[in-house]
Structure 1
């Protein structure tokens, strides 16, 4: 009971700090409390540290060279201040896998926990740093150059950032949890594949709108003080759905792989 209270106080303090620093909205801070508490219960301070590393790095890169991201941000539905939906999309899977690991003690769920965070970091780093690429990205559906920030687009710089994000989480997990090298490589690989899955879903499934006033294609339902018009994608499949789905896909692939090799 005392440990649970301490865990709650730790997560509350972390969420409050993030809220004060404007990294989280009020709803995002509440959601982060639940996610952080679940991770502490399931994987202890080491898992919480890995989750914190993802969140801290993502928050930093969200504000890094923000003045150069204004054009790309016009296309994105979300801001750098994360709400509950964004927290749940990226932190929901790690929280669940952490708790399942606590109840089962089965290491495959611990690996899935690492992969879910690696995938989230991989995608976030690619999104936040890829828009700073000097060259225009290529949309994987049309193979044509497009504006930075377009869902389903890739660039060499964004891909490198994606690999770096997954690698960092895999290496820290390897160090903190004394994992084997093959497991570390598996985490890094599936983490990177999470970003690939996110890109594919963004290109072929994610909803996209166009502004009837300025003509920009965007994820936003409103632009130029008016409603936008859906031009492609599934109506309810927004950015949060893309994030959570891609994370779950690679996490379950990790579980299946781990069960077959252990």
Structure 2
């Protein structure tokens, strides 16, 4: 009982701090509390530490050299403050796995939880660090240089960051949970795979618009005060949708392989 109260207070303070320091919107703060509560009750304080590391590191890289990312952020529908959709897209898989573990305890849900966060961390580090690359990224759709911040475009720096983000979560998992080296590799590899799936979906499926005023390619439905024209992908497939789907795909395949090989 006491542990549950401590977890509740810790999550509440963290969610409020995210709003106070302008890392989260109000809806994002509420969503972060819900994800944190599910994680805390499903995987305890260690689960919260992994979730907290993801949130802290992604917030740090989002703010790191933010003045150089102003043009990059203008392409996207949302700024650096995360709303409930962004929180759900990145932490939703972890929350779902936590709830399943609470209802039906199994190491399978722990692996799904860790892969989900590894995929989210991999994608976030790739986007935030990769946007600082001196060379333009390469589009996976055209195999030609693209503007920095274009969904579905990759760079060497971003790929290295993606690997680092995924395996950092994997190593943290090894330190906190009773996972084997095989499971560490599984978490790291499928976390990175989540970033690759995200890039592929971003290149071929995610919605992209063209501003009818300034002719810029953006991910917003409106730009320069006017509705933008859809030029690629599906309208419902925004960045949050793609993030959630890529995390779900990598976690699902990862736990399937885990079940087959254990």
- Fold shared by both chains (TM-score > 0.5): yes
1:52 equivalent in structure 2: 52
1:160 equivalent in structure 2: 160
Deviations 1:152-185 (A, max 9, x none): 0000000000000001000000111031111000
Q: Which piece of structure 1 moves more, 109-118 or 221-230?
A: 221-230
SS at 1:209's partner residue? Answer: strand
2:33 equivalent in structure 1: 33
Distance 1:208 1:5 in 2: 45
Distance 2:139 2:33 in 1: 37
Q: Contact between 2:7 and 2:45, CA under 8 Å: does it hold in 1?
A: no
2:80 equivalent in structure 1: 80
1:187 equivalent in structure 2: 187
Distance 1:175 1:41 in 2: 20
Are 1:130 and 2:130 an aligned pair? yes
Q: Which TM-score applies when normalising by structure 2?
A: 0.98
SS at 1:136's partner residue? Answer: coil
2:102 equivalent in structure 1: 102
Q: Which TM-score applies when normalising by structure 1?
A: 0.98
Deviations 1:166-221 (A, max 9, x none): 01000000111031111000100000000000000000000110101111101011
1:233 equivalent in structure 2: 233
Deviations 1:30-80 (A, max 9, x none): 000000000000000001000000000001111110111112112111211
SS at 1:69's partner residue? Answer: helix
Shift of 1:227: 1.4
1:253 equivalent in structure 2: 253
1:67 equivalent in structure 2: 67
Are 1:113 and 2:113 an aligned pair? yes
Distance 1:202 1:134 in 2: 22
SS at 1:231's partner residue? Answer: strand
Q: Which piece of structure 1 moves more, 68-77 or 160-169?
A: 68-77
SS at 2:60's partner residue? Answer: helix
Shift of 1:5: 3.2
Shift of 1:147: 0.4
1:203 equivalent in structure 2: 203
Shift of 1:2: 4.3
Deviations 1:3-47 (A, max 9, x none): 433322211100001111100000000000000000000000001
Distance 2:45 2:79 in 1: 29
1:171 equivalent in structure 2: 171
Distance 1:257 1:106 in 2: 15
Shift of 1:102: 2.3
Shift of 1:103: 2.2
Are 1:219 and 2:219 an aligned pair? yes
Q: CA RMSD in A?
A: 0.9
Distance 1:18 1:28 in 2: 9
1:145 equivalent in structure 2: 145
